Amino acid sequence: MTKPTMQLKISNRLHVLRAEHRMTQEQLAKEIGVTRATIIAIEGGGYNPSLELAFRLARYFKTDINTIFSVEESK
């Protein structure tokens, strides 16, 4: 018998933090070493960053990962 798989929905507040710091997507991308397309994809929920990138974002904004990203479980 297999266990039901749980789906994880990862949300983020990256656009809020970026706006609070009055930064464009391009500026943030350059600061953390990714493309603007990556920032767009993360903010839009179409891409979940690697753990390394999540830590880079958290360090840049001087906060922890949980402030930027949150997880909801659903079946």
Q: Is the pLDDT of residue 5 over 90?
A: no
Q: Is the pLDDT of residue 40 over 70?
A: yes
Residue 7 belongs to some domain of the structure: no
Residue 3 belongs to some domain of the structure: no
**CA–CA separation, 75 and 38 (whole Å):** 28
Residue 55 belongs to some domain of the structure: yes
Residue 74 belongs to some domain of the structure: no
Domain with 31 in it = 13-66
CATH of the domain at 17: 1.10.260.40
Enter the pTM of the model: 0.85
Query: How confident is the prediction for the chain on average, in pLDDT?
Result: 93
Radius of gyration (Cα) for the chain, nearest Å? 14
Domain count of the fold of the chain: 1
